[in-house]
Amino acid sequence: MRLRLRFALAVLCTLVLASCQEAEVQIPLAPVGMGVTDTEVTFGSSLALQGHAGYLGQETLRGAMSYLQFVNEQGGVHGRTVRIITRDDSYDPPKCLDNTQRFLIEDKVFGLFCYVGTPTTVKALPLVEEAKVPLLGMFTGANALREPFTPYLINVRASYYEETSAAVEHMVRDLKLTRIAVFYQYDAYGFDGLTGTELALKKYGLEPVARGSYVRGTHDIREGLERIRESGAEAVVMIGTSDPCANFIRKSLENDFSPIFYMVSFVGAKELSRNLLESETSQVSVIMSQVVPPPIRRDGTVAESASEFVRLLERYYPGEEPNFVGFEGYINAKVLVEGLNRAGRELTRESFLAAISSMSDFSLGGGVNLSFGPDDHQGMDTVYFTRLHEGRFVLLEDWAELAGEVTP
């Protein structure tokens, strides 16, 4: 009898515990319509504002807020100001997940905006899909945010696959290189760039001659560098953040290893050029792809597509230098506001997403256009290439000028 009673109590406790655990994971997400009042629409932004990727979040936010502050001063969108609640995640996935939960549960935001980084954004995807909340303008080219198609995700920039594919094409076709290595961050971001490079090389019957990695948040590139240097690589595709990439380049040159160093846009042109002395790189090719055109031309004039961005950045953040990351944040904000405009006064998440899908004709001027559709939530596909020259990245118009600069 006692044995049966104990067994019954054990079963009851197990059922109660399971019920509690199930209740913990059933998050009471904000219903559609939350985050919108007669005078305000609210978005949440989780991005790195501190740590080794903090400069990316700070510059993204400045670019976005330079436009949103201007819009709010003009009366907002259909009488509503656009409010952005920001929380630092320090490029840490669990922090990003926690921030996203708080946005949805505590702040009851209308949508999410300007997330920074692959591992962080990917971590929040299940919540985005469960809440059916729009997430617009992620500073990452990860394929996981593009395939399979998810209607709630709105990418503005080109993908890492597109960046690495275009770079490999130039290396193989224009420069006749066959020995290409990959240096990558050992996480979802680095794996995505590695896969994109491998797929691009496969088109030409090639594969990386070496693969070297480092752990996110560290600068320990020794093992990866040694493996790549021993391979005799003519070019190195680098999928990382600024400090480790700068360290890799610096240590390579100290060891008389001078391939073409190519980096995807996430590395951050302004920060990398700050980390590398001009004397260290004057005799080597340091290339970076960009997903927005240079806001400042090689001759120092402002590009037509960036004229408003440069003017507003100076107005709200005096002394801040226009750069690629900030310009992307500004474009994200332009898309956000245009979507709200087209959605009309009777704003819902569904009407906002439909409005974004209708933007097949959105121009920034200067021949820079964005195009979305019902099954295409990536606005831009163009990849631009820049070269480090006299301490800053300038447009690389002809890859032929790199010929003869490879000395592995």
Q: How many CB atoms lie within 10 A of CB 210?
A: 19
State residue 232's pLDDT score.
95
User: Do 239 and 194 contact (CB within 8 A), yes or no?
Assistant: yes
**Residue 238: which residues within 8 A CB-CB, separation 6 or more?**
182, 183, 184, 245, 248, 261, 262, 263, 264, 267
Q: For the chain, which domains are there?
A: 40-158+304-377 (3.40.50.2300), 160-290+385-402 (3.40.50.2300)
CA 74 to chain centre: 29
| Per-residue pLDDT at 285 exceeds 50 | yes
pLDDT digit string (tens) for 182-214? 999 999 999 999 999 999 999 999 999 999 999
Which DSSP helix (H) or strand (E) runs through 42? strand 40-47
| Per-residue pLDDT at 9 exceeds 60 | no
Q: What average pLDDT does this structure show over 389-401?
A: 88
- How far is 301 from 293, CA to CA, in rounded Å? 13
What is the rounded radius of gyration, in angstroms, for the C-alpha atoms of the chain? 23
| Per-residue pLDDT at 289 exceeds 60 | yes
Q: What percent of the chain has pLDDT over 90?
A: 82
CA 406 to chain centre: 30
The chain-wide mean pLDDT, for the chain, equals 90
pLDDT digit string (tens) for 343-379? 999 999 999 999 999 999 899 998 899 999 999 999 9
Pairing of strands 392-395, 286-290: unpaired
User: Do 32 and 109 contact (CB within 8 A), yes or no?
Assistant: no
State residue 283's pLDDT score.
76
* pLDDT band, very low/low/confident/very high, at 88 (cuts 50, 70, 90): very high
pLDDT digit string (tens) for 15-56? 433 443 333 334 444 444 589 999 999 999 999 999 989 999
Indicate the residue type of 195: T
**Residue 25: which residues within 8 A CB-CB, separation 6 or more?**
none
State residue 314's pLDDT score.
97
Q: Is there a cis peptide before residue 259, judged by omega within 30 degrees of 0?
A: no
* pLDDT band, very low/low/confident/very high, at 11 (cuts 50, 70, 90): very low
State residue 278's pLDDT score.
65
Token reading at 173: 């076709």
User: Do 330 and 309 contact (CB within 8 A), yes or no?
Assistant: yes
Token reading at 243: 């400090």
Provide the sign of the torsion angle of the four alpha carbons 229, 235, 237, 242, taken in this order.
positive
User: Do 258 and 203 contact (CB within 8 A), yes or no?
Assistant: no
| Per-residue pLDDT at 318 exceeds 70 | yes
- How far is 48 from 148, CA to CA, in rounded Å? 26
Q: How many CB atoms lie within 10 A of CB 339?
A: 26
